[in-house]
Amino acid sequence: MPDETLVPPPAGTHTIGKTFDFEAGHRLGGLAPGHKCSRRHGHSYQVEVILTAPTLSGPGFVTDFGDLAPFKAFVDTELDHHDLHEILSFEPTSENLAGFLAGWFIQHVEPDLPGRLIAVRVRETTRSWARFDVERP
């Protein structure tokens, strides 16, 4: 019987994701006054960062999940239990939050990681989300 542990994986890339949670309030002032989202309300947000690497490092990681701790700290201290209008200079839609968080991650966390961010997904509810895909030169 052949040794199955010697079978190499096919060509491809590895991708990982990690989800972070925060609670926050906002309102979308650019909407019509009768629109439910124009009123102040809150969400139990979930933010997922998605990373990839062409080769694995260490014991076989795209990135050690523990190395994402600075992103968790940012979410916990800067976004959790805040009114997003008081801390952000843009309309806090899920789409805008996903782009903002991708930029923050690339600037503050990614330089110390072997993996590269490919997307950020922001979920406002169990049924709705927005995703920002990073384009690389």
What is the domain partition of the chain in residue ranges? Answer: 12-133
Q: Tens digits of per-residue pLDDT, 89-107?
A: 999 999 999 999 999 999 9
Q: For residues 13, 96, 107 and 113, what is the CA-based torsion angle, rounded to 10 degrees?
A: -30
Which residues, other chains included, contact 129 with Cβ-Cβ below 8 Å and sequence gap of 6+?
94, 121, 122, 123
Say if residue 94 is exposed, middle or buried (CB neighbours under 10 Å; 0-12, 13-18, 19+): buried
- What kind of fold does domain 12-133 have according to CATH? Tetrahydropterin Synthase; Chain A (3.30.479)
Q: Using 50, 70 and 90 to split pLDDT, how confident is the model at 8?
A: confident
Q: Which two tokens stand for residue 70?
A: 């600075």
Q: Rounded to whole angstroms, how far apart are CA atoms 7 and 38?
A: 56
Which amino acids are annotated catalytic?
A: 37, 81, 124
